[in-house]
Amino acid sequence: MPRFWCINQNFCIMILKITLGMDAEQRFHPTDGRTASNLNPKELLLYATADCAGRTIVSLLKEHVSSVSLMELSIEGSLSTPTVVAESVFTHFNIIYRVECDTLKDQIIVSRAINLAHDKYCGLLQMMRRIAPLSHETSIITTREVNT
């Protein structure tokens, strides 16, 4: 669902957001129940980027034993116009990685996989950087109690 950011009554931008969650087969799907056929082309670009990042992370994690119980990726794209029109261009992207795993060791492995996917291996993220600035946030939590 789009949201708006306004500086004043005369200047607003639209922010599109897509959130994908990982299922048991390690595939990513929109968490709001929409399908690709329900997305406009600009949302499809965001969807494809988050899916590429997620698949890259999963691929990197296959080399390690890790206990990821939840992975969710959200990507926001700020548009240059207050509505989606042909002239709309993205001015900024932000991707948010949310992961739950069992141990502190897994947190370290997942963090490294996210950074490698984000900075090096996901081709769509590399392409998006050429369109507009791309920032990211990472939240990895451990679900098992840590012994001190």
What is the pLDDT at residue 68? Answer: 86
Across the range 104-111, mean pLDDT stands at 90
pLDDT averaged over the chain? Answer: 85
- CB count within 10 Å of CB 43 equals 21
Q: What are the φ/ψ torsions at residue 103 (nearest 5 degrees)?
A: -130, 165
Domain ranges in the chain?
Answer: 3-142
pLDDT tens column, 63-91:
776 688 889 999 999 888 877 888 889 99
What is the pLDDT at residue 17? Answer: 85
CATH number of 3-142: 3.30.300.20
- CB count within 10 Å of CB 144 equals 12
What is the pLDDT at residue 65? Answer: 64
Across the range 54-62, mean pLDDT stands at 92
Q: In a 10 Å sphere around its CB, with 0-12 CB exposed, 13-18 middle and 19+ buried, how is residue 77 labelled? A: buried
Task: Please tell me the distance from the alpha carbon of residue 22 to that of residue 59, in angstroms, as a whole number.
Answer: 13
